[in-house]
Structure 1
């Protein structure tokens, strides 16, 4: 009997937290099938065309959405019978309606949430859009506080530097619809420092063989691009020294080597625009748990 055309697992988020790296690592596994495109965004849509976001670059992004059910199901048709099938849309974790749709239509799917220090994630998000020529605000803190204005103007979710990092609230809501036993939380820092071991943990969660992925491909991080003419507060920040309260990964956007490192790091910058100061409402990953706690 043919299997239903649907995913067995979904990497649900978060954006700029290592989802592309994990997706690419799983794609190397012979027991895994991943979709093309990587981010179909189907469960954001509810069988309707995507919203007409009007932010810079949003119209182009909308062309990549797979919003018809038949087109979404067709993505999984090439999978072999022995393979678990997955897709990776990092905005599902942020989208409460997506939680409900996934729970209703995919009652057995396994979900993987990759989380990162929310300030580092937000800075990487800003740097991604700046490097692509879409973000026009050269100061990170000012751009961060433009979120409400940009939402009112109809910009897409990728511009929500703050909201995309509220993992505590997002996971709490997700657990109302999906059994926590079917949700595996991965920290970005673990992907960076223990890539093979972290991938094997995900494989065990998916019920497939371990020890078959020997590297994690570099993710889609953008190289640091200095904002021309920016004030000193927008200079490239440095990561703090390693320790229990350190961030999950450097926030600069430079691709880190996916191996353990014990090298010392310079101290974080100080000043009004340092991204080390949590913004109101943000949450921070706990060094002792896989979820996060609100500041």
Structure 2
């Protein structure tokens, strides 16, 4: 066993949110010479594996960063589920790595929920015959306490996705435990508009050189798409999960494989527009939380037009 003083732990965590570009940012940063990423992107350590035993947790968490050398200044992981579980996770992160920097990439919560729905249908986590309108009905029924996940026949995590868009409800736990200088709030919409500018700002936060990204080929990572053959996609999802530890350390190989698979089985990238009725319904749901977010983070330029 390594001496505790020689163990690597994350000093930068991309902690949220789902379907807001976290995979892309993790991939871009992983290639930077001053950065080392975890062997799998989403360790979910502070959600699923944290025990409260300092020595045991330190050893287990460090196993995700064993390949990181002393030459890098940033050791990172990216588990977007940390935001939605902020009440429990913020305390755990603060106990084990109190000096870590935290990034939360936020997205228009309506677009994020719709993207998440289509993503999880594509990943076979949700029934492909379930319409988005039916899904919203089920999420609201669960969120209001009217129905249980068993009654709705959907795993609890996917029913909570609607509430995870109430960002201020979860960010507040991080602001209570970490100084503002360790928390960075950025926006998916700004990432889409100016990837290079987004990365320069992030590098400033991390105190690493942004020169590396001046001529960088930014490719979109983890885009949602519709498959032609569902049986083949099911097999691909299985092998992708099983091979992540190997492929995460070889991003160029993974991109080649993904590109080849899309040529074979992608029907189209993206999905249909959300209906006006669903957008209006979710707008009324999220408006109070957006006001709370503006108060919490002190920003008046949140780039969402809902």
- Shared fold (TM-score, shorter chain, > 0.5): yes
- TM-aligned CA distance change 1:164 to 1:224, over 3 Å: farther
Q: More helix by proportion, 1 or 2?
A: 2
Partner of 1:202: 202
Partner of 2:164: 164
C-alpha distance in 1 between matches for 2:95 and 2:150? 30
Quick check: 1:25–1:215 contact (8 Å CA) kept in 2?
A: no
Task: Kindly indicate whether residue 16 of structure 2 is the aligned counterpart of residue 13 of structure 1.
Answer: yes
- Coordinate RMSD, CA, aligned: 3.3
TM-fit CA distance, 1:201: 0.9
Quick check: 2:39–2:65 contact (8 Å CA) kept in 1?
A: no
Correspondence for 2:100 among 94, 109, 121: 109
C-alpha distance in 2 between matches for 1:100 and 1:201? 27
Aligned residues: 240
Q: What aligned pairs does 1:1-295 form with structure 2 within 5 A after superposition?
A: 3-45=6-48, 47-48=50-51, 69-83=58-72, 84-95=74-85, 96-136=87-127, 138-147=130-139, 148=142, 149=147, 151=149, 155-213=155-213, 214-224=216-226, 254=269, 269-270=275-276, 272-274=277-279, 277-281=282-286, 283-284=289-290, 288-289=300-301
Q: Which 10-residue stretch deviates more, 68-77 or 18-27? A: 68-77
C-alpha distance in 2 between matches for 1:179 and 1:88? 20
TM-score (norm 1): 0.71
TM-fit CA distance, 1:111: 0.3
Per-residue Cα deviation, 1:153-180 (whole angstroms, up to 9, x for no partner): 6825244221221112222221011112
**For structure 1, which runs of at least 5 residues remain unmatched after alignment?**
49-66, 227-252, 257-266
TM-fit CA distance, 1:86: 0.2
TM-fit CA distance, 1:69: 4.8
**For structure 2, which runs of at least 5 residues remain unmatched after alignment?**
229-267
C-alpha distance in 1 between matches for 2:183 and 2:38? 20
Per-residue Cα deviation, 1:139-194 (whole angstroms, up to 9, x for no partner): 21220231214646682524422122111222222101111210111100111111
C-alpha distance in 2 between matches for 1:158 and 1:26? 28
